[in-house]
Amino acid sequence: MEPGIILHGGARKSQGERDEFEVNFVKDYAAKTYKLLKKGMSAVDAIEIAIVLMENNPTFDAGTGSYVQYDRKVRMTAVMMDSQRVLPYGVVNVENVKNPILGAKLLRDIGQILGGSEATYFLRKHGFEHYNPIRPESYEFPKPIVDGPKPGYLTSPTTVGAVAIDIWGNIAAATSTGGVGGETPGRIGDVATTAATYANKVIGISSSGKGEYNHAVGLAQAIRTRVADGLELEDAVKKTFDELKELGSKAGVIAIHKKYDEQIIIKPFFNTETMIWASMLKDELKHTFS
Return the CATH number at 118: 3.60.20.30
pLDDT tens-digit profile, the chain (290 residues): 999 999 999 999 888 888 999 999 999 999 999 999 999 999 999 999 999 999 999 889 999 989 899 899 999 999 999 999 989 999 999 999 999 999 999 999 999 999 999 999 999 999 999 999 987 766 665 433 333 334 333 345 579 999 999 999 999 999 999 988 888 898 999 999 999 999 999 999 999 998 899 999 999 999 999 999 999 999 999 999 999 999 999 999 999 999 988 899 999 999 999 999 999 999 999 999 99
Domain count of the fold of the chain: 1
Distance between CA atoms of 201 and 259, rounded to whole angstroms?
Answer: 10
| Active-site residue flag, 155 | no
The whole-angstrom distance between residue 261's C-alpha and the CA centroid of its chain comes to 28
Neighbours of 13 (CB within 10 A): 13
Specify the pTM. Answer: 0.93
Catalytic residue among 64, 159, 193, 288: 159
Which domain does 240 fall in, by range? 4-287
Segment holding 198, helix H or strand E? strand 197-199
Segment holding 215, helix H or strand E? helix 211-217
Distance between CA atoms of 255 and 203, rounded to whole angstroms?
Answer: 7
